[in-house]
Amino acid sequence: MKMIAGSAAVAAAVTAAGLPYEKIDTTFYRLSSKKIRNPMRIVVLADLHDQDYGKHMEKLTEKIHPLKPDLILLPGDLCEEKKNDEHSFCLIDQLKQYPMIYSTGNHEEHRPDLPTLLYKIRKMGVSIPEQRSDVLEICGNTLEVVALPCVKRESFYDPADVSGKFRTDAYRILMSHRPNWVDLYGQIDCDLIVCGHAHGGQWRCPPLHRGLVAPSVGLFPKYTEGIHDINGRKMMISRGLTKKTHGVIRLFNDPEIVVLDLEGEM
């Protein structure tokens, strides 16, 4: 009995050590391209799920402002199906000094009031380029961004149709919530795909640094974080900012702000 009690105590201590208390990881990546003339910084905030980060969301914004982003991307699940969006809208308001672009996640697409939600987000100054791409001039660079709505099936999209949403030869960014649609992404004429959704695998095994499960994929998914090469395109996946999903708390997997520094090729 003592051995069982001791094992249970060890398991409880290990589990407690992996819980996402107040820590938020800031992960830095660097990519280079001939299409980029001057260094610029993109901050990616995925899968907030209307998580509360204190008064005026300061526990999150105090980490974002010092990063001095040139552009903020919100690749889905900013909001939840049944919450009042208070924290999501507060975060947008606190970051309104930066250009922001948003694409829907599966949780927003499930909402019967989705058109109203998108109207409110646009009214707050956030762009949602679903039908027509955004062409931006930032730090002397031209970027073109398309936001792909998060439908249920990858087969809903034709690669040629998605590629046709881009109108220039600028640095092309596709925002798409689901990272497992690699067959689709490998056929789209773009430079970077920005995703979320997988929550870093929700529970992670510290020695392996690998996620255990991801939505719509199952056990030991391949694409849960980081930068991956998809047929010559780069796919960046954020682990996201929610501390739990469907009541399941993250384990050894802190919420994450992603910083992507773009620079020209030498």
Q: pLDDT grade, residue 2 (50/70/90)?
A: very low
Strand extents, DSSP E, the chain: 25-33, 40-44, 71-75, 100-103, 134-138, 141-148, 171-176, 192-195, 204-205, 210-211, 213-214, 218-219, 226-230, 233-237, 244-245, 248-249, 256-264
Which pairs with CB-CB distance under 8 Å and at least 24 residues apart come from 85-89?
A: 85/50, 85/117, 85/120, 86/50, 87/48, 87/50, 87/51, 87/52, 87/53, 87/57, 88/48, 88/50, 89/120, 89/124
Contact call for residues 243 and 250 (beta carbons, < 8 A): yes
N- to C-terminal Cα separation, the chain: 65
Decide if pLDDT at 101 tops 90: yes
Query: Whole-number mean pLDDT of the chain?
Result: 88
**Mean pLDDT calculated for residue range 38-61:** 96
Task: Give the per-residue pLDDT at 83.
Answer: 72
Task: Give the per-residue pLDDT at 199.
Answer: 80
Q: What is the DSSP string of 163-196?
A: HTT--SSSEEEEEES-TT-HHHHTTS--SEEEE-
Q: Residue 116, exposed/middle/buried by CB under 10 A (0-12, 13-18, 19+)?
A: exposed
The residue type of 85 is D
- Count the Cβ atoms, other than its own, within 10 Å of residue 34: 9
pLDDT one-digit tens code per residue, 49-60: 999 999 999 999
Decide if pLDDT at 13 tops 50: no
Rounded distance, CA 126 to CA 92, Å? 8
Query: Domain coordinates of the chain in residue numbers?
Result: 2-264
Task: Give the per-residue pLDDT at 4.
Answer: 45
Q: pLDDT grade, residue 141 (50/70/90)?
A: very high
Task: Give the per-residue pLDDT at 62.
Answer: 97
**Mean pLDDT calculated for residue range 156-176:** 97
Rounded distance, CA 68 to CA 164, Å? 32
Q: Six-digit token pair at 82? A: 């049944």
Q: Six-digit token pair at 224? A: 């849960």
Residue scoring higher pLDDT (215 or 78): 78
Residue scoring higher pLDDT (252 or 137): 137
Domain range 2-264, CATH architecture: 4-Layer Sandwich (3.60)
Q: Residue 148, exposed/middle/buried by CB under 10 A (0-12, 13-18, 19+)?
A: buried
Q: pLDDT grade, residue 218 (50/70/90)?
A: low
Angle at 251 between CA 149 and CA 211, to 5 degrees: 55
pLDDT one-digit tens code per residue, 19-31: 544 689 999 999 9
Decide if pLDDT at 256 tops 70: yes
**Mean pLDDT calculated for residue range 68-92:** 94
- pTM (global) more than 0.75: yes
Nearest to 109 by CA among 147, 159, 71: 147
Decide if pLDDT at 193 tops 60: yes
Which pairs with CB-CB distance under 8 Å and at least 24 residues apart come from 156-160?
A: 157/184, 159/184, 159/187, 159/188
Q: What percent of the chain has pLDDT over 90?
A: 72
Q: What percent of the chain has pLDDT over 70?
A: 83
Decide if pLDDT at 227 tops 60: yes
